[in-house]
Amino acid sequence: MLALLGRSGSGKSTLLNLLGAVDLPTTGAVMIGGTDISKLSQEQLALFRRRRLGFVFQSFHLLPSLTAFDNVATPWLLDRALTAQRKKEVADLLARLGLADKGRRYPDELSGGQQQRVALARAVVHRPELLLADEPTGNLDAQSGREILDLLGELHREFGMTVVMATHSPQAAERCEQRITLEDGRVKENRLGTPTPPPAPGASASDDLRGSGTAEPLAAVTSPEVGA
Q: Kindly list the residues in this chain that would bind another protein in the complex (CB under 8 A).
A: 13, 17, 20, 22-24, 42-43, 46-51, 53, 55, 57-66, 74-78, 80-82, 106-109, 112, 115, 122, 134-135, 138-139
Nearest to another protein of 25, 195 (CB atom): 25
Nearest to another protein of 53, 152 (CB atom): 53
Beta bridge partners of 5: 181
Closest CA to 69 of 46, 40, 35, 99: 99
Nearest to another protein of 107, 185 (CB atom): 107
Distance CA 189, CA 210 (A): 15
Closest approach, Cβ 65 to another protein, in A, equals 3
Nearest to another protein of 144, 178 (CB atom): 144
Q: Phi, psi at residue 53, to the nearest 5°? A: -120, 155
Nearest to another protein of 112, 217 (CB atom): 112
Distance CA 21, CA 41 (A): 11
Q: Phi, psi at residue 25, to the nearest 5°? A: -70, 145
Q: Identity (one letter) of the amino acid at 153?
A: G
For residue 50, give the H/E element and its range. Answer: helix 42-52
Closest approach, Cβ 17 to another protein, in A, equals 4
Closest approach, Cβ 145 to another protein, in A, equals 15
Burial of 207-219, coded b for 16+ CB within 10 Å and e otherwise, reads ebbbeeeeeebbb
Closest approach, Cβ 64 to another protein, in A, equals 4
How many CA atoms within 13 Å lie on the side-chain side of 86? 19
Closest approach, Cβ 164 to another protein, in A, equals 14
Nearest to another protein of 115, 167 (CB atom): 115
User: Do the beta carbons of residue 168 and residue 138 sit within 8 Å?
Assistant: yes
